Structure 1
Amino acid sequence: MNVTIIGLGLIGGSIAKDLKRTGFATEIVGVDSNPEHGKKAVELGIADRYEELETAVQQTDLVVIAIPVDKIKIVLPKVLDLIPENTTVTDVGSTKREIVSLIEKHPKRGNYVPSHPMSGTENSGPVAAIENLFEDKICIICDQEKSRPQHVALIEKMYQSIGMSTAYMSSDEQDHNTAFVSHLPHVTAFALANAVLAKEDRSIIFDLASGGFRSTVRLAKSSPEMWGPIFHQNRDYMVEAIGEYQKHLEAFKKSIQNEDAGEMMELIKHANGIRSVLDGGNQSMTKKEKTIIQLFTPKN
């Protein structure tokens, strides 16, 4: 199968590596707005060749769009205009509502399957691409009833070939859920990094930084070109998630300020309950709630 990957960074490059490794793709054609990335991807064996978008998408079985979500809104309609009648198209963006609404009336809407493979690192560019990035992770497919069955089946098969399970949601549910389990952690990491960077004696703080700080703030190294547009497109649910987080931060602040050790212990014990959820031991949760929580949790 001929697969065209638009965007040869961490996600697009890692998908390309796994599709070649598993034999799902016989040829990977790379497309990237940065010619140096395209050349590097060929050099690293991520893509078999590098083409301009117009040429690549007219001669392919499957198109995977792996670029920032603001760029997807520009590129996706163009791809749907150019592809052959039987070509399947998916994107891997972290937001979906604005993207999907943009092509709702497109004649080839049925060829498009919105998807979001829930995996990644804080690194970017072709050199960040790694094999097995998606193993035992979950991919969300959105609004599958609006895509033709053969195209949904191909995308399911693609993600299955790289070791992913599949969850199904509406675009609205996807954006709402990821605001809490993906987008909020990134905002928190950015804010924590800024708080520490604002300290005049921050060099001393960094000298004292342990594993807890480093693991918490790791996401603050993520690309602003990627995450800025995500926050913008998901702004309503982001505001909700940040507001909810602020409430819980304020509860901790109040318990510390008032020297209320009992309340503080209750807050910590309640938070410890996340262990049973992530370990799959909370039987009171619905199947859908467990799926949402497990989106970013590797299977044991």
Structure 2
Amino acid sequence: PHGTRFLTAPKEMILGRPKDAAIGLNHFLGVDDDEIIQMLAKGDMAAIMSEFTLHGTDEDRECLHYCLHERAGANTKRFWNGVRDENRNGETLDDFLRHENSVHAGLRKAHVLALRLYSTAAYKSLNGPLRARGTAHVKYPFPVTMHCIAEALRRLRAVGATIPRPSGREAMALYRGMRGLSVPDIFLVEGGTEISPMSTTCDLEVAVRYSASRQAVLIRLNTSSFMQRGADISYLSAFPAEAEILFPPLTYLECVAVHNDVAFPLDGDANGSSICYTLVDCIPHFGS
């Protein structure tokens, strides 16, 4: 499907330099640390609303109004991937804030709002200017929103440390699909930095389905514990069925192995057809 966060299309495959992950998010956004502190001091919720009012599209502002003021699932507007919050129970933003995962992670209301927004169609406006930063030296228009997303995802790793079972401390493979492209040689040698928040899934079939094409790449992110992987945002996502595990912006991907012509069966194909992928094994590292 067009526009999914789990898929990187050829024109969108913009990987930053390895050093971008080390320098830090504020520098990449074109704001200094003092500016962010001042913006947050004036009120992070107000800052997010102001950013969307000034720089968002009509669709973005509709998503903002929905996340702020409407109960989950009450609005039946249909998007390319379905209706937001289908089968939820009419939760409000405060209900998502009171969820045990938000409490474990110490999230503020602005963290929850920012993540809810990112799970909607507003992600396109949040990601686009980030991916253009390499060619357009202008300030990023949503710095507080992106700061809150990144901070929330880091904090949500605490959920993996507190769940009453060892799975948070076990190895887990996550997947991200790329359609219609080849793996650049420089990435195989140096790795690369995913500039925007990186959507992944633990469901291999989801990644394969989203990225199926004649020339497809599947990135397998091998994580050893909760500290190394993104956050499962399905508990507050507008599309919880996507089972999205989201990494913060400027995650560095260390390439460790490449497997060419790996065949995956096409789900539901009566002829037993399969599609060949280039499978790239990576280790993710959170940026500064």
Query: Is the shorter-chain TM-score for this pair beyond 0.5, marking a shared fold?
Result: no
TM-score norm. by structure 2 comes to 0.25
TM-score norm. by structure 1 comes to 0.24
Whose Rg is larger? 1
| More contact order relative to length (CA 8 Å, sep ≥ 6) | 2
